[in-house]
Structure 1
Amino acid sequence: KLFTDTRDFVARNARTILPADLVGGGVQQPLYLEGETITRTGQVTVAENGRLTSCDFPLPHYRFQFARAQVIPRDAVILRNTSFFRYNARQFTVKYLRVPLIEDLRSSYTPQVGRTEEEGYFVKSAVGYALSQFFPTLGSPDYPGLLRVDLMERKGIGLGFDQGYRFADIAAGTLVLYGLRDSGRGVLNTNGRLAHLQRAGEVDVTVSSDFQNNSYNAAFQNSQTQNSTISATRIIGGSNTNITYNLSQSGLQSGKSTNSQYTLTQEQRFGQSLRVRARFNGSDQNSVFGESVTGRTEQNGELTATGRVGIFDLDLRANRSFAARLRGASSDNFFSGTERLPEFTLRTTGQRLGGAFTNLPVNVSLGFGRFVESTGAGTATAGRTTTGRALFDIDGSQSYPLAPRGATVLSVNGGLRQYLYESGDAAQYVLESSPQLTQQIGRDTTFNLNYSYLRPYGGAPIGFRLDSVGSNNNLGTSLNVQSYRTRLSLLTGFDIQRSQADLGAGQRRLPWQNLSAQLALRPSPVLQTRFTSTYDLNSAVLVDLNNRVRVRAPGGFAFDSGVRYDPRTKKFPQITGSLETPLFGDKANFTAFAGYNGVTKQFDYRSFALTRILHDYEITLRYINQPFGFRTESGFSFTIRLKALPGASFSNTGQFGTPLDTGTGEVF
């Protein structure tokens, strides 16, 4: 029976194929589902008294035979009273089996076997369950969870669970708890996490909290951390209200720190053009390390309004610091920011102004405001600077072709900002410009000459930081060649301002920027390489040389390498490489990563993974050796997974390492 309006159906003695993109999550292959009855309601498919497999052979290599199966896209496959068969041989039978369809290490259902430097030999497993099995009064849903059991040679036995829950349509969440009596360090390792969502009338409430004590995965093993956040949001029409509170704590043997933050935000839209936003936030930070006790308290309010008034965009900003205090040995240089009491800005364009300005590519701004800046707040050296300021700002840009077909183009842009202060004893204006001349040479070559100028004249009131402006006066040039097989770039620059600076005895002006050169070659679609170098024009010294090689051959062979040479020390600080290649046709795959330090003459990391590829399974042996970092890592792991279903991803640099990258750069 097919419902054409919803595409739901009910079928008897049926067989259906669930495509991977329909099931979603991390499913890689279609699922083949048979049953005495198959029902699809919405996105959920339910089968009674049937079998499930991802093997497309007439006699599958494996199958799950079940009394009831439920396929929930992008969530899980839930099987009840199910038996696992290899060919026609029954391997095991369980009353309940939940197979996650998401790519998440914490949701991995396949056992992990291996050895690491920290844990020794280990076996880590997870078993799915449903609370409704043990507490039938809970009813629907099943309240699925994962029970975790970790056996580690050097740590002991770790136990934990991941428990999901849902209460009708108003609340849902996940609770995770894990504990380990670490026999290697003689401490109790505990961690947990709560993620809760709830609807209360028109308000959405989210609660998240996590903690860990004495985790050997942390940089400091005997540490305690806790972080909790509660947030409430109400969105009705053009009104958006949010309240958030966060509390975090961290501690070591030598001390403890506690931080709390709260925020209240109200946004309101009026029509299509006017939006008003009010925000109040505060924070309190306290640290105790040994005999040192420090703290910092802040409370700030902010009001912004944006809209359109005639030809102008209106921007109103007001903010005030209600409290800014330091406690203990904190620095007296604490800057609490700039208060706007308030600041109005009107913006428009030449096209909006019309008349003689219609065709001028300019932007114009007018601003008026009163400002307060405080330094050393809450200390004996506290100071305040108060001023009123008017602002006029005009800027624009335009490109002018100087030769036919755009072979030569001059791009001009610049601006003027004028500041006037109410005290009458300070004023400044700022000029800036950055024109660029671009010359096309032939089909593949481009030459650029650019100039950058920024300079303030006059000055802001003493102690007023908001309008502080630096200065530069630079000339830069670049040559770029881009063809199908070759890419070349040369870049350098000259600092005119530094070349004219007055320096003390023994100081050098060093006005030239380093000459950077890059040459990329692609002799064939399979091979490309990139050479880069840096040359110090001021000292006439070659700074470094780099080479990257990338190979992608038909059949899945891939190789990347990176080499860095330091001409000054005549050593190779870094040599990296990665290799991936199929073996024995498509029956196996081998990957390897390595990094060598020519200064220490040691490998920073080495790893490889050998995967045997079967029709429905992958069997992988991984080895990792990473002797450096905040914790060394050396060991192996062994995993088996169904190819159709998502599995945990493992880094080839080890559990405590960082992702590898040979730095091949842009691929062309």
Structure 2
Amino acid sequence: MEWYFLKSFTRILCFLILVLLFAIPARASSTEETAVEKVSTAEVSTEKAHLVAEYLSYNYDRRIVTATGTVILKYKEIDLQADYMEIDLNNNSLVARGNVKLHDKDRDAEGDELVYDLDTRTGVINGMTGSFTDPGIVGSVFMTGTSVSIAEGEYIMDDASLTSCDREEPHFKIEADEIDIYLKDKIVMRRVRYYEGRFHLFSLPYLVISLTEEEKGLQVPEFGFSASEGFFVKAAYGYVINKDHSGIVRIDMMNRLGMATGIDHKMRIGENFTGTIGVYQLLNQQNTHVDWRFSLGAEQKIGKAKVNVSGTLNHLATATREDYNTYQLRASLSGQGTAGTLSLSSDYRFNERSEETYFNASGNTNLKWSSGYSLSLLGSFRLLESPNFSTGNTTTSRLADYSIRAAKAWDFGTLTLLFEEKANLDAVQGATTWKALVRQPEITLQFPKVPIPLLGDFNVGLGFSRYIEQPSEIVSTRTHGEIEKRALNLTKGGFNLALSGKVRGNYYGTEEYLFTETVALTWNQRYLPWLRTSAAVSWTSAQGETPFTFDKPTIGASVTGGIYVEHKVIQVSLTSGYDFQYERYRDISGRIRVNFGGKDYLQFVGSYNPTMERFSLFTLEGNLDNDLLALKAKVIFDPNEKQFRQADVNAALKVFKNWTLQGDINYNIQMETLRQASVGIVYDWHCREIKLSYDFTGQAFRFDFVFKAFPDKKIGFGSQR
């Protein structure tokens, strides 16, 4: 009886804690602490939280829950484990100590002590080790810190380290007195020390790793050679003043052009405004002129809309030191809401030297309502003015177009109203290049499922429009009606027969008419799981005439067919056909592919034109992929001339455990010219990669050192034509 009473009392007490945890507004009058001791598993769960511990106690006066002995707390997307946990229900905060493990969305952290706010997901963890992921990083980055402030999307760490190597003793690591991580933005490190294994190689006062799509990865020096710049060294040094102000300082040294310096600064004002300013200056050795570029940009978020404005001014000089400027202005507006989307953009450019002007503006919006109404607006305008200094004339080109589409959808059909016009405003009248179609308007009514007994559902359409077609200067109305059967299927075993057809009638304001009929019959027969044949017959006829070009039908009939072998080891296909309109056979095409398991295969593709009595180019392609060798080769052969045309080879041979020899060749056999050829050796250093390559066609060496977490940024030296 006593055991039953104690067991019931324990359940009642756990239930009371369940009700109180994160939810009780009432205050108990007692100031004493009630405890449950030596309970093997005590669960406290509500819609908000789930708590498991070996020992639970609750202070009614202070509204504090204390849990010890393998404590597990699950709250929303937070999973927390510790040896000891104290939860303050007054402000939904907690203190956890001993073997602390925190998982929150895309981040994991372990430490000795955690002070955490469950609502804001902010806190401080001491003695932390953890990892995080980001779209700007391949894989995970592992981190440690003596004291780490964590918040939504950021870490502020003291005496910290970072590495993308997942080994217990990482190949490399970066230590810093302070590391600030802003997910989807950047990593800022102060008083940085770089280690290879246990060896300290160098130190930096400051280092920034960008995680944004505009400039992903490390800011590392770039070495190389180009025909216009000569040998160059381009260095970019990132800086961060505070969370809202950061930028990049650039120093470029080019032995043919000279030395250039620049700065790109980015600032945030509040949560919705971002501004950029950039200056770049080049002491141009080729004309002893100071070239410079000045740019401004701004982005403002207004609800779900975003406005972007940017401008660039380039001050340059000709070889004879004649100064001139180029200008570019851009603006855009984009937004998305529950009803639809909106996008507007413009681009203006002017070159003082050539006196060329370019302007382009476009916009579109798509709106939908739950009542079935929809509206789509599209438009664009483009202007190009280019003077001819020899004649003194200016060539002007103006292109404009717009379309307005409104629709109403019901269960039984859709009504669409379309206004559209496309025109070249400066074309010579009657020129064949001036081709525009104007719909004023086009009204269509579609009934997608009209049941007809024994035949199934048909698609029925009605329409009326007024068209203007250029350059023929034809203006006319068109009334049309159509009925279409998408597919009438007959299937039995491996046999399938599908019949579809369409009949359409057009009547024009010019008192002309046009009727078109289209029928398609498709037959498929599968004899074995790996063997089938197919055939298709299509026929289109027309009676009458149309005054327009855009709706002239293509009449005639054709038949096509093929036999297919679809085995997992071998695939074979042979297809051909006959065109009754032109009274000629279609190409006889064949394909044979043999699979040897995995990614290994050998494939042949070729065709024969019966009318021309000529073969097409034959292609033989093979792929071999195993632990030692990855090889893909393709040879193109001309059976008419009986000679090889081209050979392509891509190979990667593993010569040692972590060393791979790579090679690429594209050779034109007929012209005896090497289009492209390169060879390289790659060392896979677990979390890093080292590659030395030589391009035979460009006669260029390249050395790259790559951190796999940032594959788009390479520390290396190379040259190019």
Name the residue aligned to 1:508. none
Distance in 1 between residues matched to 2:227 and 2:358, nearest whole Å: 35
Structure 2 residue ranges without an equivalent (≥5): 1-114, 318-323
CA distance in 1, matches of 2:533, 2:626: 35
Q: Find out whether 1:68 has 2:178 as its counterpart.
A: yes
Query: What is the SS of the residue equivalent to 2:582?
Result: helix
Given that 2:652 and 2:660 are in contact with CA atoms closer than 8 Å, whether structure 1 keeps it comes out as: yes
2:409 matched residue in structure 1: 308
In 2, are the aligned partners of 1:103 and 1:646 still within 8 Å (CA)?
A: no
- C-alpha displacement of 1:451: 1.5
Partner of 1:639: 704
- Deviation of 1:257 after TM superposition, in Å, equals 4.5
The offset of 1:300, in angstroms, is 4.6
Q: 1:538 aligns with which of 587, 611, 632?
A: 611
CA shift at 1:348, angstroms?
A: 0.5
Q: Sort the Cα spacing of 1:568 and 1:193 in 2 relative to 1 into closer, same or farther, 3 A.
A: farther
Asked if 1:333 is matched to 2:458, the reply is: no
- When normalised by structure 1's length, the TM-score is 0.79
Equivalent of residue 346 in structure 2, options 245, 260, 264? 245
1:535-567 deviation digits (Å, cap 9, x = unpaired): 222243333211111111025x31111110112
| Alignment correspondent of 2:383 | 284
Answer yes or no: is 1:582 the counterpart of 2:654.
yes
Q: Which amino acid aligns with 1:455?
A: S
Equivalences for residues 144-293 of structure 1 within 5 A: 144-174=246-276, 180=282, 196-199=298-301, 204-208=306-310, 228-233=329-334, 238=339, 242-248=343-349, 257-263=356-362, 265=364, 268-279=367-378, 281-289=380-388, 291=391, 293=394
1:261 Cα deviation after fit: 2.7
Larger radius of gyration: 2
Say which is worse superposed, 188-197 or 306-315, in terms of deviation: 188-197
The 3 A distance-change label for structure 1 pair 185 and 40 is: same
> Residues 43 and 563 from structure 1, CA distance in 2 versus in 1: closer, same or farther, beyond 3 angstroms?
same
Q: Does 1:480 align with 2:552?
A: no
The match for 1:401 among 490, 493, 499 is: 490
Tell me what 1:44 maps to.
154
C-alpha distance in 2 between matches for 1:479 and 1:423: 49
- Contact conserved, 1:213 with 1:224, CA < 8 A, in 2? yes
Q: Measure the CA separation in 1 of the matches of 2:215 and 2:677.
A: 23
1:608 Cα deviation from its structure 2 partner: 2.3
- SS of residue matched to 2:696: strand
Contact kept, 8 Å, 1:115 with 1:637, in 2: the verdict is no
Q: Following TM superposition, by how much is the alpha carbon of 1:124 offset from its aligned partner in structure 2, in angstroms? A: 3.4
1:31 aligns with 2:103: no
Using the TM superposition, give the Cα deviation of residue 174 of structure 1 relative to its aligned residue in structure 2, in angstroms.
4.8
Report the secondary structure of 1:365's partner residue.
strand
**Residue type of the partner of 1:495?**
D
* 1:79 corresponds to 2:189: yes
Corresponding residue number in structure 2 for 1:17: 130
Please state if 1:573 is matched with 2:645.
Answer: yes
Number of residue pairs the alignment of both structures matches: 599
Which residue does 1:137 correspond to in 2? none
Structure 1 residues 193 and 567, CA gap change in structure 2 (3 angstroms): farther
Q: State the partner residue of 1:662.
A: none
What's the CA shift string for 1:181-240, capped at 9, x where partnerless? Answer: 66579998877876642135785312356788999xxxxxxx998764312346666376
Q: Does the CA-based 8 Å contact 1:366-1:393 persist in structure 2?
A: yes
Shift of the alpha carbon at 1:162?
Answer: 4.2
Q: Give the deviation of 1:521 after TM superposition.
A: 0.6
**In structure 2, which of residues 601, 620, 627 is the aligned counterpart of residue 528 of structure 1?**
601
The CA deviation string for residues 264-301 of structure 1, in whole angstroms up to 9 with x for no partner, is 55655454301234455433232334546432334555
Question: Which residue does the alignment assign to 1:219?
Answer: none
Go from structure 1 to structure 2 and tell me whether the alpha carbon gap of 1:582 and 1:494 turns closer, same or farther (over 3 Å shift): same
Partner residue of 2:419? 318
CA RMSD of aligned residues (A): 3.7
Contact 1:102 1:646 in 2 (8 A): no
The unaligned stretches of length 5 or more in structure 1 are 133-139, 216-222, 376-382, 500-510, 627-632, 657-668
Q: What amino acid maps onto 1:468 in structure 2?
A: K
Change (3 A) 1:573 1:208: farther
Given that residues 105 and 647 in structure 1 are in contact (C-alpha distance below 8 angstroms), is that contact kept between their aligned partners in structure 2?
no
Instruction: State whether residues 225 and 719 of structure 2, in contact with CA within 8 Å, keep that contact through their aligned partners in structure 1.
Output: no
Please give the secondary structure, in 1, of the residue aligned with 2:524. Answer: strand
Contact 1:625 1:654 in 2 (8 A): no
Aligned residue in 1 for 2:551: 467
- Cα distance between partner residues in 2 of 1:575 and 1:512: 31
Q: Which residue of 2 aligns with 1:503?
A: none
Q: Which amino acid aligns with 1:313?
A: T
- Taking the TM superposition and a 5 Å limit, the aligned residue runs for 1:88-99 are 89-99=199-209
Give the structure-2-normalised TM-score: 0.74
- 1:64, distance to aligned residue in structure 2 (A): 2.6
CA gap 1:650/1:324 in 2 versus in 1, 3 angstroms: farther
- Counterparts of 2:315 and 2:297, CA distance in 1: 19
In the aligned structure 1, how far is the partner of 2:602 from the partner of 2:325? 48
Alpha carbons 2:467, 2:475 under 8 Å: kept: yes
Q: Residues of 2 paired with 1:482 and 1:250: CA distance? A: 60
Deviations 1:440-476 (A, max 9, x none): 1322122111122223321112xx2332222232211
2:459 aligned partner: 363
Closer, same or farther in 2 for the Cα pair 1:171/1:104, shift >3 Å? closer
Deviation at 1:342, TM superposition (A): 1.8
| TM alignment of 1:289-300, pairs within 5 A | 289=388, 291=391, 293-300=394-401
Instruction: Provide, for residues 342-371 of structure 1, a one-character-per-residue CA deviation record: whole Å limited to 9, x for no partner.
Output: 221111034xx45x4596231000001222
Give the % identical residues: 19
Could you tell me which residue of structure 1 aligns to residue 585 of structure 2?
A: 512
Verify: 1:609 aligned to 2:680, yes or no: yes
Gap change, CA 1:27 and 1:324, over 3 Å in 2: closer
- Aligned-partner residue type, residue 554 of structure 2: G
Q: Secondary structure at the match of 1:335?
A: coil
More strand by share: 2
Residues 646 and 241 (structure 1), Cα distance of their counterparts in 2 relative to 1, 3 Å cut: closer
Residues 1:618 and 2:618 are matched in the alignment: no
For residue 666 of structure 1, what is the aligned residue in structure 2? none
Letter in 1 for 2:636: R
SS in structure 1 opposite 2:553?
coil
Q: Distance in 1 between matches of 2:252 and 2:696?
A: 22
